[in-house]
Amino acid sequence: MKKIRIYVHVPFCESKCSYCDFASFVCEEDLKKKYFDKLEKEILSCPYKDRQVQSIYFGGGTPSSVEVTYIEKIMNAINENFVFDENAEITIECNPASESFEKLKKYKELGINRISFGVQSLNDKTLKFLNRRHTKEEAIGAIKDAKRAGFENISADLMIGVSECEVLSTGEFDLINSAEKLVSLGVKHLSAYMLQIEEGTPLYNAYQKDKSIVPDDEYCVSIYDRLVGFLTERGFIHYEISNFALPRYECQHNLGYWKLDDYIGFGLSAHSYVDGIRFANSRNFNDYFNGILASYEKITKEQQIEEKIMLGLRCQEGVSIKDLQKLGYDIIQNPNLSKFVEQGIINLNGDKITLNPDFYGVSNSIIVDLLP
């Protein structure tokens, strides 16, 4: 049976964080109702119903900000139209400010088995700077609630390149302190993203006026290195540039994206990749309601080769030599490969080529040299 992964976009938030330009909006209940009705129809009319679902990811926006009945409706629609792999990983993104113990218990009953909290930092000043709705204590409480509700597979997002501004003078490391607390709470997976200053956000405007509101690149790289050191010491596997997990807790859904598995995205701005075709829903509510796609593109063999190398080398999974050969590229013949192997940058293990994690930070330049 052919497999598929499912992404469901929930484009609603209770307020906007200062840095975020994701397709997420503060909306009235009427629009939410209309949206979830359309989402249900989109799922029920999806033509790939003969596929077995390996993972589902409710992302956003903030899926935990909407009534749990909406999530239930979507889970029911997926259940009706698809066959589930019995081990399917089902994740929901939650903001610590919009979770509740009751909601988490209900998610568990619905079959959701992984919670991903947007924490960003466990420093109240930093959280305020980012315009987050929750405090440090609320984020800690949310993780404890999730554990009490029976979740074992809990992830947290942290942000690199923001918390250190004032800490530089005190010599403390906010990011490492936050990570340490999260690990001690039993979080099994951490995503640590470099803060991106996105045009059109309040943070972008503030940054234009005063560049010193965030630390410089050199500092961000050094704190990233510290985080990698700290987490690997604690037994976390650095399985992708921004992702760390205890053994067996790697996010299967994201690994699927990096392996170029087929996936279907439902909802506003959601992207899909099925049978070599990539397409995306519109980011505009009206166009989405009218079924107008934002893009539709057949991926050529050359693009597939490039993507397999780019995505594969950014994670521990690596790239399969045979897969590339099937697509017509014999990477073994590329002289740069043997050079990188000799230099200890690339590891060759049977069929797999992997990038030494010490070089994740400079992966782009290495990847370019390995392309056909």
Ligand X SMILES: C[S@@+](CC[C@H](N)C(=O)[O-])C[C@H]1O[C@@H](n2cnc3c(N)ncnc32)[C@H](O)[C@@H]1O
Binding site residues, ligand X, CB under 6 A: 19-20, 22, 59-62, 93, 95, 118, 120, 157, 159, 193, 195-196, 198
Q: Which is nearer to ligand X, 60 or 267 (CB)?
A: 60
d(CA 91, CA 98): 16
Binding marks (x or -) toward ligand SF4, 101..140, rule CB under 6 A?
A: -----------------x----------------------
Segment contacting ligand SF4 by CB under 6 A, of 18-26, 295-303, 341-349, 361-369: 18-26
Q: How far is the CB of 248 from ligand SF4 (least distance, A)?
A: 27
In 10 A of CB 13, how many CB atoms? 22
User: Binding to ligand SF4 by residue 11, rule CB under 6 A?
Assistant: no
How many CB atoms neighbour CB 346 within 10 A? 22
Beta carbons of 59 and 10 less than 8 angstroms apart: yes
Q: Which does 221 bind (CB under 5 to 8 A by kind): ligand X, ligand SF4, none?
A: none
Which of 13, 127, 190, 319 binds ligand SF4 (CB under 6 A)? It is 13
- Given candidates 55, 95, 272, 316, which one binds ligand SF4 under the rule CB under 6 A? 95
Query: Do residues 116 and 96 touch, judged by C-beta distance below 8 A?
Result: no
Q: Is the dihedral of CA 293, 294, 298, 299 positive or negative?
A: negative
**Could you count the other beta carbons within 10 Å of the beta carbon of residue 354?**
16
- Residue 206 carries which side chain, given as an amino acid letter? A
- Among positions 341-360, residues that touch ligand SF4 (CB under 6 A) are none
Nearest residue (CB) to ligand SF4, 60 versus 312: 60
Stretch of 54-62, 102-110, 171-179, 274-282 lying at the interface with ligand SF4 (CB under 6 A): 54-62
* Shortest spacing between CB 87 and ligand X, in angstroms: 24
16 binds, among ligand SF4, ligand X, none (CB under 5 to 8 A by kind): ligand SF4
Please choose which of ligand X, ligand SF4, none residue 159 contacts, taking the beta carbon within 5 to 8 angstroms, the exact cut-off set by kind. Answer: ligand X
Contact residue for ligand SF4 among 54, 55, 62, 272 (CB under 6 A): 62
* Binding residues for ligand SF4, total number by CB under 6 A: 11
What does 193 interact with, of ligand SF4, ligand X, none (CB < 5 to 8 A by kind)? ligand X
Are 159 and 139 a contacting pair, CB within 8 Å?
no
CB of 120 to ligand X, least distance (A): 6
Distance CA 104, CA 7 (A): 20
Nearest residue to ligand X on Cβ basis: 118
Q: Which of 16, 125, 234, 283 binds ligand SF4 (CB under 6 A)?
A: 16
Interface residues toward ligand SF4, by CB under 6 A: 13, 16-17, 20, 22, 24, 60-62, 95, 118
